[in-house]
Amino acid sequence: MAYQISDACISCGACAAECPVGAITEGDGKYVIDESACISCGSCAGVCPVGAPAEA
């Protein structure tokens, strides 16, 4: 299962910098994950200060 980013996201960008496959981009009001590219490594969840990324 791919990861998804919840509305708790504060758009800090930390997760995008950590994603090994470049699946995370800035969206409208929060960052978003391209689920077709995500390999579910969990790196984004590990660096997020508000716990927004989670496995869907």
| Min separation Cβ 54 and ligand SF4, Å | 10
CA end-to-end span of the chain: 6
| Min separation Cβ 2 and ligand SF4, Å | 6
- Burial of 47 (C-beta count, 10 Å sphere; 0-12/13-18/19+): middle
CA distance 47 to 45: 6
Footprint of ligand SF4 (CB under 6 A): 3, 5, 9-15, 18-19, 21, 23-24, 31, 33, 38-44, 47-50, 52-53
Q: Which is nearer to ligand SF4, 28 or 31 (CB)?
A: 31
